[in-house]
Amino acid sequence: MKKIEIIRVFCLVVVLLILSIAPALALFFKSNDITKQELFGQESEFKGILTVWNIDTFEGGSVSKSDLIESIAREFEKNNKGLFVFVENMSVEEFSQRIENESPDIISFGSGLFSIMENYCCQQANNSPQIYENILKSVMYEEKTNIYPWCMGGYYLLSSYEALQEYDIEQINLVDERFNLGKTKNYNNKSFEIKSLTLGTSEYHSSVEALKELGEIKYDCLDEEYVSQTTYQAYVKFCNNKAAVLLGTHRDLTRLENKLHQGVFSGLKTVLIKFSDMLQYAGVVRTDDEIRTKYSNLFCQFLQSDYAQNKIAKTNLLPVIKLNNDLSVLNLNLEIEKIGEMKIKKIY
């Protein structure tokens, strides 16, 4: 009996509470002109699924680019009720096979595939007015483009505090002659030379191009296999103390930050090189469905929004727009300010 009374009292309290705040809620909605759509998300004119095919030619940062698109898409879906974004990751080879019989709504692709993908993309892209001018210029043809750049990879000089101290290097500066000398070490009565710098290449991108942006280099400071080894092999050599400095990518930065958190290094020194040939683009695939095209473009534009670009920057990829927030909360800190000065190389 007591239990029933308690329930009745509880229900009465809830009813009284609702009645007491109802006038305030009504006044709030009236004064702020807030609609149901604004509170719970706007109904989308397009109902259904937008399909995004993602093709990588360079690695993501702390998460894959397909996972990054998916997390951004969840926010886009909240603002467009009834619309869903499906992201599928695939290789260049798989894309070539499937595009003959299938058609996605949006293609996200890395540099090196530009000349292929722009043939499938429709009309003029409405890029964000906040996009860095140097990035936008890299995709323009006769002052037009049908492509949306949405993130970028970066090249870095990377070293640990321990390596810098051992080499008596105060700062990373490849033009300095101290980087043109190998260092002989003795181990088990055998001597071997550690090179100052190691780096690698990939199928679509070359860190050697980034190296040239640093000025005149005496190549005897380099690991002999710098042309033939992969970027990951170069990273392993650096971790095994075979070089004082790694010329790596945003992915290597993430790997080394993880080692820093594990206590492997006491500190890291990083310098962003003002050059990149690693861009990820999005393009809307041609279709006669105007509503589908409209919302595909809206999603590509959302990839360039402040919300999306902040998420991108926190994964160690570089944003393509000028962010308005406090850059100190981002992993790259004030290095991001250098993006507008970077030399952008578009790879076809």
Which CATH number is 155-272's, of 3.30.870, 3.40.190, 1.10.287, 1.10.3470?
Answer: 3.40.190
* Ranges for all domains in the chain classified under CATH 3.40.190.10: 40-153+277-344
Half-sphere exposure at residue 320, Cβ-oriented, CA atoms within 13 angstroms: 30
Task: At 215, give phi and psi (nearest 5°).
Answer: 115, -165
Asked if 85 and 282 touch (Cβ cutoff 8 Å), the reply is no
Amino acid 40: pLDDT:
42
Residue 302 near residue 77 (C-beta atoms within 8 A): no
Q: Under a CB-based contact definition with an 8 Å cutoff, are residues 108 and 279 in contact? A: no
| pLDDT for res 141 | 83
CA–CA distance, 326 with 313 (Å, rounded to integer): 12
Q: Distance between CA 298 and CA 294 in Å, rounded?
A: 6
**Which pLDDT does position 249 carry in this prediction?**
95
> How many residues in the chain?
348
Distance CA 60, CA 56 (A): 8
β-strands 81-90, 43-55 pairing = parallel
Structure tokens at 100: 């003959």
> Contact 250/153 with Cβ under 8 angstroms?
yes
CATH topology of domain 40-153+277-344: D-Maltodextrin-Binding Protein; domain 2 (3.40.190)
Say which amino acid occupies 73: A
Among 292, 301, 279, 294, which residue's Cα sits nearest to residue 126?
301
Please tell me the chain's helix, strand, coil percentages from 3-state DSSP, rounded to the nearest 5.
40, 25, 35
What pTM was estimated for this model as a whole? 0.80
Which has the closest alpha carbon to 331: 63, 117, 101?
A: 63
Q: What is the dihedral of CA 301, 306, 308, 313, to 10 degrees?
A: 130
Encode the chain (348 residues) as per-residue pLDDT tens digits: 455 555 554 555 554 455 455 444 444 444 443 343 443 456 778 789 999 999 999 999 999 999 999 999 999 999 999 999 999 999 999 999 999 999 999 999 999 998 888 789 887 899 999 999 999 999 988 788 999 999 999 999 888 877 766 666 555 554 455 455 555 555 455 555 666 788 998 889 988 888 888 776 666 677 778 778 999 999 999 898 888 889 999 999 999 999 989 998 888 888 888 899 999 999 999 999 999 999 999 999 999 999 999 999 889 999 999 886 554 444 454 466 678 889 999 888
49 DSSP β-pair partners: 84
Query: Which pLDDT score, from 0 to 100, does residue 174 have?
Result: 44
d(CA 53, CA 59): 16
Question: Dihedral of the CA atoms 287, 116, 138, 150 (nearest 10)?
Answer: 60
